Chain A
Amino acid sequence: DAKTTQPPSMDCAEGRAANLPCNHSTISGNEYVYWYRQIHSQGPQYIIHGLKNNETNEMASLIITEDRKSSTLILPHATLRDTAVYYCIVIDKYIFGTGTRLKVLA
């Protein structure tokens, strides 16, 4: 079973920040949080990952709470091409849940 809980769907206006939450209350100390997205039926695309510190790259930012029980993926300026299913995964094993279907609206 997936170790994460995500809302099934979200809408975001184009140009605005998209904040995608993920709960992982059973995460253990050495488990990383990974985010991937799947656009239409393509292969999943790696976005970002982190352990306990907040992370930022050219695609997104990852905010992890101090107790590590939840995290938020932030797409700072969402575009129509960011419409996808976003998966939050806690590794030790890659178990994908059903993710959040993000729809960016023009």
Chain B
Amino acid sequence: DQQVKQNSPSLSVQEGRISILNCDYTNSMFDYFLWYKKYPAEGPTFLISISSIKDKNEDGRFTVFLNKSAKHLSLHIVPSQPGDSAVYFCAASARTSYDKVIFGPGTSLSVIP
């Protein structure tokens, strides 16, 4: 009963192009969504988040879009850089238990120079 799904295990993108990472969730109680980035041999690091009261949040080259009716969110990276190559985790939580963050399985992004 995976509550947060990332159906693409991997993605390859050319440097300078847009990377789009997708995430779907099943629990309608989720109202806060996050993206974490993980390099090998390191722990995940927080990247960007979005509240359910918004449909878009932007931070530099990173933009997260939320479609609540479809229970879908996406992370856009523009332009993609080789240093963006990492595993990206989508995560979610509910206001009833914000400390209990549910992670998706991750998407491994490779940005090709």
Are both chains from one complex? no
Measured CB to CB, the residues of B under 8 A from A are: none
